[in-house]
Structure 1
Amino acid sequence: MGAVVPDTLERAPDAPHPAPRVARGLRLPWRTLLAAAGGLLLLLAFPGSGVWALAPLGPAALALAVRGQRARGGAWLGLVFGLAFFVPLLSWSGIYVGAFPWLALAGWEALHLALLGAAAAATSRLPLWPLWGAALWVADEALRGRFVLGGFPWGRLGLSQTEGPFLSLAAFGGVPLVSFAVALTGTLLAAALVALRGGRGPALRAAALAAAGAVAVPVLGWLAWLPLPGPSLTEGGPTATVAVIQGDVPQPGLDFNERRRAVLDNHVARTFELAEAVTAGAQPRPDAVIWPENSSDIDPYLNEDAARQIGRAAAAIGAPILVGAVVDGPGRFISNTGIVWDPEDGPGDTYVKRHPVPLAEYVPARDFFRFFSDKVDLVRRDFVHGTEVGVLAMGGARVGDVICFEVVYDGLVRDVVEAGAGMIVVQTNNATFGYTDESEQQLAASRLRAVEFGRTVVVAATSGISAIVAPDGSLAARSELFEPAVFVEDVAQRDSTTLAERLGAAPEWTLTALGAGAVLAVAVPALARRRTRRSAA
């Protein structure tokens, strides 16, 4: 009676283990199906379906699938989970370039989940295994977000939480703490199910304890909302009136900027329309106007006509415009640049994108990657990596500029807030992903950042989704895909700091160390036993 729970809670980590009772009814094919189902359940929690409450069921399913398995079996189950999750989640990445780049990216991301599955299996018999399993999720995401080529932290557990109790935790430990809370809820649910199969007495008490923990985590999340800012855009500092222009593009796809002048003209035209509305008293005059990434793919430093059109728009609205431009140079490179264009003085402060996307904005080892796909040659010139943090002063606003996918990199967003940004701006161009869920998934990251740093986040997209996100992560305004849109809102320029900002990456590294420590607690005795057997032989 209760064989699983005493084995879990009392047995020494290096002692031999009987197969947990839950494993007897779950042979590998069933475990594989459970892992696949877990990946699909997690997918449903992400924008597109957006059922955020399903997110803990993903880690729960993986924990049950790998429970009692060896690392090799756990790796297989983690890979199945990862493919079931990442292949559909990242389908937008192949919408115009074919299946190979999409499946290669999804497969690469899934390999990290294979590592997670192996580690979770190896530690699944340790005391307090739900805690170590949740910490391993954070460790795995930390690895995936940094290596190789700077990593790609898309699809982290925390980025599924655009509302609900877990979202509040972003203000206390950033996306890693949200991921940990989601994973811990899931692994505690799994522990409750494991214990329930153990019978009566101690097993039922252990099940009740684990279930209580799974409830306590989101309850703590609800309580964590109490000291945080609400949905007001204007509280917390002096305000600046900010306008967002979504000019739209002639057509979606890789050729969205084939008519580059049309894209620029669209944003100029929407700005003139706003100026007419201001003159008529229908809209307040903005202090700053935000255009998206790629709003001028004609270099305004070299093309007098493009510069003239931008200057006319700035003069008409009577406010500086943050223009997203592709700028020639330095040298053989080009630069993805945000330019503050003043109505009187013309181009001023700039921000150059610090983390261009590998294989999309630059191609390392071009000959090697061309062997797999000639699509790399669509990137004719590589974008340079910027070096300066993007805090720009314009019209009384202190704009912390990040461009496109930079919003999912914790350190890049933290840098602009620490450098004094009173608001965060995400300039993006999603036209290359058509009518897919990519824009919704990217917007979700902006909503996490708003809570994490207690700042309003302004998203300006060429073709959508543009939005103004309040400091509590709610949407004050949003556009639809491939429709022109203009927003004007008063936005407080905040200088408060959240605990997440003060702690920086410490929560992530602490949780990563917990997970790594659990793996070492299993690996070191196992290696010692192997050496002993070899010596005896």
Structure 2
Amino acid sequence: MDLGSPSLGWWPLALVSVTMALISLIGRSIGGALLVGTVFGAVFFFAHLVWVGEFLGPVPWVALAGLEALLFGAGAIPIALAYRWAGRPRAHGGVQLVVVPLIVAALWSTREVVMGAWPYSGFPWARLGMTQVESPFREVASWTGVTGLSFLIVALCAAIVQGVRAGSPRFLRRLFPVGIVALVLVATPQFPTTSAGNLRVGWVQGNGPAGYFDQKKPGDVLAAQSEATVPLLGQPMDLLVWPEGGVDSDPLDNVRTASELDRLVRAAGAPLLMNAATARGEDVFNTSLLWTADPADRQWHDKVNPVPFGEYVPDRSFYERIVPDLVGLIQREYTPGTNPPLVRIGQVGVGLGICFDVIYDQVIWDGARSGAQLYVFQTNNADFRGSDENLQQLAFARMRAIETGRAVVNVSTVGTSQVIAPDGATIDTIGVDTAAGRVTTVALRTGLTPASVLGPWLTLLLTIGAGTGLTMLGIAHAHSRPRPSP
């Protein structure tokens, strides 16, 4: 599964991994399913999330990967029960060859939904659908969303498993419908959105000292961004974009910072979409702020899902007793934002996702439904230099472009930054540890994809379907057991 994800991204291995994971749960007891599922989760998550410990040490890595492994293991129990209660498929059990794979796929997808929402807003990072950004299945995401794509992939793998388990020498013929479904998914085009012109976007990767442990003085990150912006000045642009944390002081409170931003906006002849920590009353926010020459025209969006143990510490007093040194590094307590993830450049809606908010479906769907015609994702990868983290996050950005039918400008402090077309193709890129900027003409699109409209309902339907299907299997199994004679 890890090899099926970036940096290698060998997507067929994700399908092999799912198939093997399902086979390993057939015939297991509850305890056995928990053990096997947890081992699978541990091997995957400790490899996949190794970047968490690159600079922050082993404790956060072990804590996050260990928790994800346990949740993955717990989610294996319902799948094992589904196989047990369904019994062995008969050679002519056509209904079971369809119904059981659908229930298993719904249970797998429900596990992804739960892990993406709990605890502390969840961590929907390592989802099966996201491994398919290079696969011929990727365009299906514009119809079903990422969760729906995960469901369809697991359903295909589970159908193959059931077909083989049926034991018929003609099982290949029985799998013919599965092949037809797979071909239909491959042939499904991306849902068409409507062209709405173009926007000239300047985007800058300053490569400043933006990490927790980088040696820096106040203003150094802003200076790096400003210096990298200079070559773009004089080029016509409609919007200038900086990454998350590109301004290391609050421009709403710091007069000197505000003056520097005013100067840059005048020189660029375009508004600047920047990001900084801002304070309003007692609350501190991770804010993307559209800085304009006229203060009355300024707009902002606050990050919806601050990162637990990165941007705030839940239950701080408890964790201070366990890892006081690590908790002490996090001085700010960011407040979740409630304003829409959108700013407007004239009549053009720009959808926003601040760093890890790109992995939360609701943020992306809210932007699309609020009128986004393109997306800007601002991120700070400085604490994960040289790791797979930024490539995994870029895969999310590319899949979001496909899912919504919108172009994406993904800008990082230290790389990799990219402009991504509405079909997920990379238009331009700036590599890691490089200070540079570009001006790119970005396509605008209107019209909502089914994923943007139906995504929340499909997620709910799969969750309800998983519980209902498992319950029905359990009832059928109980009624089919022979009763003891009186």
- TM-score (norm: length of structure 1): 0.83
Matched, 1:50 2:1: no
Alignment correspondent of 2:220: 262
Q: Where does 1:61-80 land on structure 2 (aligned, <5 Å)?
A: 61-80=20-39
Alignment correspondent of 2:93: none
Q: Which moved more, 1:370-379 or 1:404-413?
A: 370-379
Offset of residue 116 of structure 1: 2.4
Offset of residue 431 of structure 1: 0.6
> Following the alignment from structure 2 to structure 1, what is the Cα–Cα distance between the partners of residues 390 and 367?
22
Alignment correspondent of 1:272: 230
Pick one of 151, 155, 167 that aligns with 1:184: 155
Pick one of 154, 158, 174 that aligns with 2:125: 154
Matched, 1:485 2:450: no
Q: Is the 8 A contact 1:181 1:217 kept in 2?
A: no
Q: Which moved more, 1:213-222 or 1:146-155?
A: 213-222
Offset of residue 43 of structure 1: 0.8
Offset of residue 354 of structure 1: 1.4
Residue-by-residue CA offset, 1:304-352 (whole Å, 9 max, x unaligned): 2211221111111110000111113431x32111111113548711111
Matched, 1:352 2:297: no
Alignment correspondent of 2:278: 327
Alignment correspondent of 1:469: 420
Residue-by-residue CA offset, 1:326-385 (whole Å, 9 max, x unaligned): 113431x32111111113548711111111111111111112112332211211120111
Question: Aligned letter for 1:509?
Answer: L
Offset of residue 49 of structure 1: 1.2
> Following the alignment from structure 1 to structure 2, what is the Cα–Cα distance between the partners of residues 373 and 523?
44
Alignment correspondent of 1:297: 248
Q: Where does 1:82-481 land on structure 2 (aligned, <5 Å)?
A: 82-125=41-84, 126=86, 127=96, 128-195=99-166, 198=167, 203-210=168-175, 212-225=176-189, 228=192, 236-250=195-209, 253-256=211-214, 258-276=216-234, 278=235, 285-331=236-282, 333-345=283-295, 348-374=298-324, 375-394=326-345, 397-481=348-432
Aligned residues: 471
Offset of residue 151 of structure 1: 1.0
Q: Is the 8 A contact 2:203 2:439 kept in 1?
A: yes
Offset of residue 131 of structure 1: 2.2
Query: What SS class does the counterpart of residue 415 from structure 1 fall into?
Result: helix
Query: What SS class does the counterpart of residue 406 from structure 2 fall into?
Result: coil
Pick one of 423, 444, 450 that aligns with 1:499: 450
Q: Which moved more, 1:456-465 or 1:177-186?
A: 177-186
Question: Aligned letter for 1:343?
Answer: A
> Following the alignment from structure 1 to structure 2, what is the Cα–Cα distance between the partners of residues 226 and 116?
31
**Identity of aligned pairs, percent?**
32
Question: Aligned letter for 1:171?
Answer: S
Q: Where does 1:12-27 land on structure 2 (aligned, <5 Å)?
A: none
Offset of residue 247 of structure 1: 0.8
Q: Is the 8 A contact 2:204 2:242 kept in 1?
A: yes
> Following the alignment from structure 1 to structure 2, what is the Cα–Cα distance between the partners of residues 360 and 316?
35
Query: What SS class does the counterpart of residue 55 from structure 1 fall into?
Result: helix
> Following the alignment from structure 1 to structure 2, what is the Cα–Cα distance between the partners of residues 207 and 114?
32
Distance 1:481 1:123, change over 3 A: same
Name structure 1 gaps, 5 residues minimum.
Answer: 1-41, 230-234, 279-284
Distance 1:96 1:521, change over 3 A: same
> Following the alignment from structure 1 to structure 2, what is the Cα–Cα distance between the partners of residues 106 and 246?
30
Name structure 2 gaps, 5 residues minimum.
Answer: 87-95
> Following the alignment from structure 2 to structure 1, what is the Cα–Cα distance between the partners of residues 111 and 173?
29
Residue-by-residue CA offset, 1:158-177 (whole Å, 9 max, x unaligned): 11111222211111110011
Offset of residue 396 of structure 1: 5.1
Question: Aligned letter for 1:458?
Answer: V
Query: What SS class does the counterpart of residue 105 from structure 2 fall into?
Result: helix
Q: Is the 8 A contact 1:58 1:186 kept in 2?
A: no
Query: What SS class does the counterpart of residue 494 from structure 1 fall into?
Result: strand
> Following the alignment from structure 2 to structure 1, what is the Cα–Cα distance between the partners of residues 476 and 184?
36
Offset of residue 124 of structure 1: 1.1
> Following the alignment from structure 2 to structure 1, what is the Cα–Cα distance between the partners of residues 478 and 74?
19
Query: What SS class does the counterpart of residue 310 from structure 2 fall into?
Result: coil
- TM-score (norm: length of structure 2): 0.91
> Following the alignment from structure 1 to structure 2, what is the Cα–Cα distance between the partners of residues 346 and 95?
43
Distance 1:263 1:222, change over 3 A: same
Offset of residue 410 of structure 1: 0.6
Residue-by-residue CA offset, 1:74-112 (whole Å, 9 max, x unaligned): 111111111111111111112112112111111111122
Q: Is the 8 A contact 2:313 2:333 kept in 1?
A: yes
Q: Is the 8 A contact 1:320 1:343 kept in 2?
A: yes
Query: What SS class does the counterpart of residue 244 from structure 2 fall into?
Result: coil
Aligned alpha-carbon RMSD (Å) = 2.2
> Following the alignment from structure 2 to structure 1, what is the Cα–Cα distance between the partners of residues 449 and 190?
14
Question: Aligned letter for 1:209?
Answer: R
> Following the alignment from structure 1 to structure 2, what is the Cα–Cα distance between the partners of residues 527 and 434?
54
Question: Aligned letter for 1:488?
Answer: V
> Following the alignment from structure 1 to structure 2, what is the Cα–Cα distance between the partners of residues 53 and 217?
17
> Following the alignment from structure 1 to structure 2, what is the Cα–Cα distance between the partners of residues 228 and 243?
27
Offset of residue 207 of structure 1: 4.3
Query: What SS class does the counterpart of residue 336 from structure 1 fall into?
Result: strand
> Following the alignment from structure 1 to structure 2, what is the Cα–Cα distance between the partners of residues 143 and 474?
30
